[in-house]
A and B are shown apart, each in its own frame.
Chain A
Amino acid sequence: MLFAMLIAAAALPQIPFEKYQLPNGLTVMLSEDHRAPVVAVDLWYHVGAVNERKGRSGFAHLFEHLMFQGSKHLNGDERTVFAMLERNGATNLNGSTDWDRTNYFETMPSDRLELALWLESDRMGFLLDTVDQTKLDTQRDVVRNERRQSVENVPYGRAEERLIQLLFPDPHPYFGYVIGSHEDLQRASLDDVREFFRTYYAPNNAGMAIVGDFRPAEVKRLVEKYFAPIPRGLQPPEVTAKTQPHTKEVAETVRDQVQLAKVLIGYIGPRPLENPAPPVLMRMLAGGKSSRLYHDLVYDKKIAQDVTATWDPAMQLGGLIEITATVQAGHAPEEVAAALTEEVKRLRDAPSSADEMERAKRNLKSGLFAQLENVGGFGGKADQLNYFEMFAKDPAAFTRNLEATLAVTPEQVQQLARRYMNEEQRVVITVLPEQKQAAAGGNR
C-alpha cells in the first residue's frame, strides 16, 4: 500500500510536442529530447492492408518494399537507399506495414537530420520516376520469401494466419493477414504501384514525427524546404469495408510440423481509442508471472508451456483480441482450451480485485516509461505521436488515453469481457502436431 501511494505520486510518462500542418496537408509533430545527439524521423502514411482491393492482398506491404528501391534523386535500388542512411549513421531504420498504416523511420545523428528529410521527401515526391518492372519483380520475390520465412516455415505461423482468416472472412481487407497470398502478390502490376502511390502516398495522408536533439526553428525551415513543394493529393477514398460480428463460435483444427499442440482464441475487440480497458485486461490475464493465465495454467495446473493475451490497438475495423497457450507435453489441448474458457468466463462473471487492477496499471505505466526512453523505433516517442495523430487527430490524446487507462475500474474490465469476449463471438484454433507419435508429447 505504501509503495502504491509512492508510485501514484510519481509523474506520468509524457511527450511534449508541437504540431502544425503544411499547406499541402502534411502534419508535422516536433518533440525535443536532448538526452543523446540523435533525432528520430518517423513518417506514417495512413494506408495499410485495409486499403487493398480484392485480389491484391499483400500489396500495401509489397509497396512498402518499393519505397526502399530509390527515387528520382537517389537513383539505385535498396542497397543505395540503405547505404545512404547507414553510412550516415542511421540506426533503427526500417519500414513496416500494418493493417491500417505504413511507416518509414530512421534515427539519425543530429547533424545528419537533413539527409533523412531529403530522402523522405524524395520518395514522397519522386518515387514513380524510378520504379520499374525489375524492382517490382525482385521485391515480389523478396516478399514471397518473407512470407515463407515468417508464416509458412515458422512453427504455428499458418495457424496465426488462419485465425485472422476466420475472424475476418474474405472479402474483408484484413483477410490477407497483411503479408497476402502468393497468388495475389503475383498479380501486382506496375499500374497498381502507380495508382496506389497517387492515391495514398500524398502529404495530406501522412504524419511526420521528428523527435530528438534538434532546434525547432531550424527543423521547421528544413521541413518547409523539402516537403512544402510536394503537391497535395486527392482525398483518399473512405474505407467502406465492414466487419461482421460473430454470433456463433467457429472452431478449426490445423496441423503443423510442431511437437506441442497449441490453442489460439481470437475475438474482435474494440477499435483504437474506443475503450481504455483492453491493456489492463490483457496485462491482468497474461502479463507477467503473477497474471491469471500464467498462474493458473503454467504455474498451478502445469498444463501449458506458455500463455499470451494481446489486443491490437491499431485496427480501425476492430482490434484483434488474441489469447494463446502452448499445450504442455502429456496434456490435451481440450484441457487447455477448457481452462482458457474458464478464465475468460471468470472475467465476465465477476469484477477483478482492486489489488489486481493496481498491479496491472503500475506495470503498464512502468513499461511505458521504458518504451519512451527511445525516441524512435517501434513504440518509441515518434511512433506514439503518430499513433494518436492518426487515430485521434491529436497527439495529446497520448496523455488522455494514459489517464483513462489508469482510471479504468473493475466494472469496465468486466464490461469489456462481457461485450467482446463471449464464446459465441470467438474463433478457436487448435494446432496439432502433424505426426501422431510426436503428438504424445515426446519430452517426458
Chain B
Amino acid sequence: MRPLWAAFVLLGCASAVPKPAQPPAPAPKAEAAPQGTPDSAFRAQPPPPGSPVEFRAPVPQQLALSNRLPVYLIERHDVPLIAIDLALRSGADTEPVGKAGLASLALDLLDEGTPSRDAAAIARAFEDLGARYAAAAEADSSRVSVTTLSDTLDPVLEIFADVALNAQFRNADVERVRVERLGQIAQTLDDPQSVGQHVLSRVIFGEKHPWGYPGEGTARSVKAISRQDLVAWHRAWFQPSNAALFVVGDTNAAALLPLLEKRFASWKNGKHPPAVRSRRAKAATRVVTLVDKPGAPQSQIWIGEVGVSAAAADIFPVRVMNNILGGSFNSRLNGNLRTEHAYSYGVFSFYDVHREAGPFVAAGGVVSEKTADALGEFMRELSRMKSGEVSEPELADAKEALIRAIPALFASNDQTAGAYARAWSHGLPLDYYATYQQRVHSVTKDDVARAARERLHPQNMAIVVVGPSALIAQRLEALKLGRIELRDAEGEASKAVSAAAGR
C-alpha cells in the first residue's frame, strides 16, 4: 500500500522524545499575509502547563492457573475487546549454530496445523470470530497473541490454546512455510535498510552467536532446519515454567480464570529447558564493512556495538543519553545530519535491550554523494556524546520527554499486554512501568556523562555502509576509520570485489 509522505520518521526506535528550545531570536521580517492575523501579546510565549495530570501505569493483578502458569490481568472495560499474549522466555537466543530462524519458523508454524485443524481451518476459525492472531519470535522471547471481541473470548481461547500447545509441524506445512520464508529472506536482501541492520549484527555478534544472524534466518540456515528441529524446539521451550499469560481488556478474574483453566491447565512441564549460553565472539579491530549496491541513490550507514541489558544498573541514564544522541527527532544526530546538513531524511540511534545486552545502533540513509561526509558527522556526534558533555536543557528535555511518553505505551489493550509481556520476558519487576517515571526523574547530568563515557566506544564501533561502492569506497577509505572489508548482502565476505577496494 502506498505510504503517506510524512514529515519525518524514526525507525526501529523504541524510545520517544527530546531536546532544548532555542533562545528567542529576532524574527526575520518577511512580508505579512494579505490580510494577516493580528498579533496579540498572549502569542509571544508558549502557554504554561495546566495543573499537572498524574499518570499511574496500570499494574497487573497476579493470578495463576493450577499448573502454576502465571496470569497477569489488567481490566479495561471501555472497549469490548480483550488482548491476550502468551509470552515465552525463549527466542532466537536458543538457536543452535547453523539453525538461525528456527524460533521464528516454529512460531510461524503454530497456526499451520493442529491434530484437529489444518491451516485453512485455523485461519477461518479465527476470522469467523473476528479475532486477530499473531505470533513472533524475538531475540530472547516469543509471543503468541490474539485480540478478540469480549463476547467471543471462550471460543477464541479454544483455538488459541490449540494452536499454541498442539501445533503439529506436519511436513507439508513445514515445506510450504519454508518456501515462503526463503522468499521473505530474498526480499529482505533487496532492502538496503534491512541489509545494513543484518550485516551490522553479524559484525558485532560474530558467526557463532545467534544474534549475529537475522531473526528470520538465512537462506542456508532455513534450508538446514528439519521438522525434528521444530518439534524439539517447541517441546523444549513451550512449557508453563517458561511462560506467562497477559490479558488486558474487558473481562475480570472471576470470568477469565475458569476459561483459561479449561484451555491451559492440562499443559504440563516436561524436561526443564537447558540453560542458554551466550557465545559472542570477542570484539575484533574495527573494520568498515561495505556492501555494494551499484547505482543506489542513497547509502545506508549502520554503526554499532554491544549495548546494555534491560536490567543494567545504568539503564535509565543510558536511555536519557540515547534520547539526547539519537533517540528523538530533535536529537543531536538527526539535527546534524538532517536539519543542518540535509544529508538525510532522518537518522536515529537506539539500544536494543534484552535479558542480555543487545546492540547499540546509530543509523540512517544518506544521499550517496555525501556518504563519507555523513559518516564523518556520525562519528563526530558519537565522540562528542562520549565526552559526556551535556547541557542542562538537553538533560531536562530528554528526561521530560521520556517521562511524558509513558502513558502512550498503554493506549490500547494490545500495546499494554505487549509492554508487560516484554518487561516480564526481560526479567523486570511488575512495578517496572509504575516506577519508570520516577527512575527517569532521578537521573543526573553526572549519571548521563558516566553512561556516555562507559557505554559508548566510537573508536571500536563496527561500521557498515550499504551503498554504491564505485562512488563511495575511495572516499570512505580516506576517512581512515579502519580497513575496508567487502561483504555481500547476507553478510558473507565477498571475494569477488574485495580485491578491488580491499587492502
Q: A residues touching B (Cβ–Cβ < 8 Å)?
A: 3-4, 6-7, 9-11, 35-38, 61, 64-65, 67-68, 72-80, 82-84, 86-92, 94-98, 107, 109-115, 118-119, 121-122, 125-126, 128-132, 137-139, 141-146, 148-150, 152-155, 160, 164, 177-179, 194, 197-198, 213, 225-226, 229-231, 233, 257-260, 288-290, 294-295, 298-299, 302, 305-306, 308, 310, 312, 320, 322, 326, 328-329, 358-359, 362-363, 365-367, 369-370, 372-375, 378, 441-444
Contacts and interface: CB of A to CB of B under 8 A. Distances in A.
A148 B298 contact: yes
A88 B404 contact: yes
Contact of A87 (B17, B25, B38): B17
B123 interface: yes
B123 A96 contact: no
Given A111-B52, A370-B414, A73 B21 contact: no
Interface stretch (B269-277, B342-350, B379-387): B342-350
Given A83-B397, A88-B49, A155-B187, A122 B79 contact: no
B6 A96 contact: yes
B496 interface: no
B2 A75 contact: no
Interface stretch (B26-34, B63-71, B90-98, B198-206): B26-34
A443 B330 contact: no
B297 interface: yes
Given A90-B404, A141-B367, 9 more contacts: A78-B7, A86-B16, A95-B7, A96-B6, A111-B50, A132-B28, A233-B35, A290-B124, A305-B187
B342 A141 contact: yes
Contacts of B120: 289-290, 295, 299
B67 to A, nearest CB: 28
A92 B412 CA distance: 14
Contacts of B38: 229
A333 B223 CA distance: 24
A329 B186 contact: yes
A68 B7 contact: yes
A164 B278 CA distance: 49
7 contacts: A35-B78, A72-B27, A83-B21, A178-B5, A229-B38, A288-B126, A366-B81
Interface stretch (B176-184, B224-232, B308-316): B176-184
Contact of A112 (B6, B49, B176, B185): B49
Contacts of A373: 79, 81, 411-413
Nearest to B295: A257
Contacts of B6: 94-97
Nearest to B365: A149
Contacts of A370: 81, 132, 147, 412, 414
A9 B80 CA distance: 12
A306 B366 CA distance: 30
Given A80-B22, A122-B43, A359-B127, A258 B190 contact: yes
B339 A86 contact: no
B223 to A, nearest CB: 8
Contacts of A138: 339, 342
Contacts of B427: none
A329 B400 contact: no
B59 interface: no
A263 to B, nearest CB: 14
Interface of B: 1-8, 16-22, 24-40, 42-47, 49-55, 76, 78-81, 111, 119-120, 122-124, 126-132, 147-149, 151-152, 155, 176, 179-180, 182-187, 189-192, 219, 293, 296-298, 328-330, 335, 338-339, 342-345, 365-367, 396-397, 400-401, 403-405, 407-408, 410-414
B191 A10 contact: no
Nearest to B405: A91
B7 A64 contact: yes
Listed from nearest, the 9 A-B pairs whose CB atoms lie closest are A89-B404, A125-B37, A289-B123, A141-B342, A366-B130, A373-B412, A86-B17, A305-B183, A362-B130
A86 B367 contact: no
A257 B190 contact: yes
Nearest to B340: A138
B342 A145 contact: yes
A130 B330 contact: no
B57 to A, nearest CB: 11
A360 B396 CA distance: 49
Contacts of B344: 142, 145
Given A87-B17, A145-B366, A155 B155 contact: no
Given A65-B7, A155-B191, A86 B49 contact: no
A179 B47 CA distance: 35
Given A89-B403, A305-B184, A329 B179 contact: yes
A369 B49 contact: no
B24 A75 contact: yes
A227 B91 CA distance: 52
A260 B219 CA distance: 14
Of A61, A145, A370, the most chain B CB neighbours within 10 A belong to A145
Nearest to B37: A125
Contacts of A38: 407-408, 411
A198 B18 contact: no
Contacts of A75: 22, 24-27
B5 A259 contact: no
A111 B51 contact: yes
Contacts of A369: 79-81, 149
Contacts of B410: 36
Given A7-B130, A111-B52, A329-B186, A76 B5 contact: no
Nearest to B148: A366
Contacts of B47: 114-115, 118
B330 A79 contact: yes
A142 B18 CA distance: 20
Nearest to A119: B46
